[in-house]
Amino acid sequence: MLDFYVLIVIFLFGWFFVFQRNVADAARVAVKKYCDKENLQFISIARESTRLTFNKRQGVCWVNVFAFEFSGDGESAYSGKVEFKNLKFTSVDVPAYRI
């Protein structure tokens, strides 16, 4: 019986790793599209935090916050944040930047 629990734990860790990679890929694509739409130069993206939350509308969901860097004029770099709930893009927060 212990082997069964060990297999479940290994499976859950594997699923979590694959799920987080899918979220990171979706975040990269969404931020690149946002930068293209706003005529910005995309520089980089990194995961800032991941947390498990519960709400009545969606139930249990993973909230991932990514920090990304961009440039409006090609010389300076600015940092923005993007939030995902599971695999859905929910919000983007960018500071004022030079064009």
Token pair of 80 as six digits: 């923005």
Q: What is the mean pLDDT of residues 19-47?
A: 94
Model confidence, pTM: 0.84
- For residue 55, the model assigns a pLDDT of 81
CATH architecture, range 2-93: Roll (3.10)
pLDDT of 99 over the 80 cut:
no
| Type of residue found at 27 | A
- For residue 58, the model assigns a pLDDT of 76
Over the stretch 69-93, which tens digit does the pLDDT of each residue have? 999 888 889 999 999 998 898 999 9
The SS3 call for residue 75 is coil
Q: Which of 17, 76, 77 is nearest to 47 (CA)?
A: 17
Per-residue CA distances from 65 to 8, 12, 39, 40, 41 (Å): 27, 22, 23, 20, 20
Q: Where are the alpha helices (DSSP H) in the chain?
A: 2-37
